[in-house]
Amino acid sequence: MSVCQPIYPPIEIEFLKLLKELQPIFIKALNSLGGKKPSDAGSSYLGRIAKTVNRASDGYLLLREAGRMDASKLLIRPALEAVFCGTAALKDKEFLFRKAYSEWKEDKKLFAKDAERRKQADEYLKLLQAGFQKHNPAYPIKLREIKIEGIAKMAELSPVYESAYRVYCKYTHSAMRAVSGHLDQGTDLRDTPTIVWCVLMTLDLLKKHTPAEISNLGNYYQKLESLNDQLSKHAPTTRIDIS
């Protein structure tokens, strides 16, 4: 490969520029939450979720700029999942305890052969219920598991779950097509738009539901829409191997 040959096509470079523009806005928004009390448990949870999206997008950008496309893909699913969870927490008050209960139930499987530890886990659940009810009386306690598909539905983001999320799960789970590279041509130019969407969605939620300091995001949504329109007409490109 010539040293002058670009790693990415122009459309990918434009998406990366947009992501880079959004990163300082994201960091400023998170920093502006310091010392401010969230309005409720959903808003508090969103603040923590936003940190997860920021870490994923920051790592993604670092890897992408270094040409590490394969590694960057592994950060897309966590960002999507965080957006589902943060959105669900704001749309349905059932979410928070059901999520906590689901994680407790999954953790309990670690003690499948330890009766004493299982008993301790059961006691912990009682304490968790009591503490949650005391501090969040407006939020219901339901001992019902919720999986990520249900979380996406609660967040009213099922179309994203059925498309992008299902695809990027294949990289996480080492699906045969993913490890063989057969998904790359169809996803390489979709990776960065997906991360940008996650960042914008999270910033929008922070702006609406927390005291975070965020300027108007309209121009960034317009840029994303314009780039996505260009991308829809863009032919798949062959990846340049720099490894």
Average pLDDT over residues 97-115: 96
Computed on alpha carbons and rounded to an integer, the radius of gyration of the chain in Å comes to: 20
Is there a single domain that holds both residue 99 and residue 180?
A: no
Give residue 173's domain range. Answer: 10-92+148-231
Decide if pLDDT at 153 tops 80. Answer: yes
The model's confidence at residue 234, banded by pLDDT at 50, 70 and 90, is: confident
Residue 220 falls inside a structural domain = yes
Domain tally, the chain: 2
Residue 5 falls inside a structural domain = no
Q: In this predicted structure, what is the pLDDT of residue 115?
A: 94
Is there a single domain that holds both residue 18 and residue 74?
A: yes
Is there a single domain that holds both residue 188 and residue 156?
A: yes
Contacts of residue 96, Cβ cutoff 8 Å, sequence gap at least 6: 41, 42, 45, 89, 132, 136, 139
What angle, rounded to 10 degrees, do the helices at 76-91 and 41-65 form? Answer: 160
Residue 236 falls inside a structural domain = no
Q: In this predicted structure, what is the pLDDT of residue 7?
A: 82
pLDDT tens track for 158-200:
999 999 999 999 999 999 999 999 999 999 999 999 999 999 9
pLDDT tens track for 21-39:
999 999 999 999 999 999 9
Residue 56 falls inside a structural domain = yes
Report pTM: 0.93
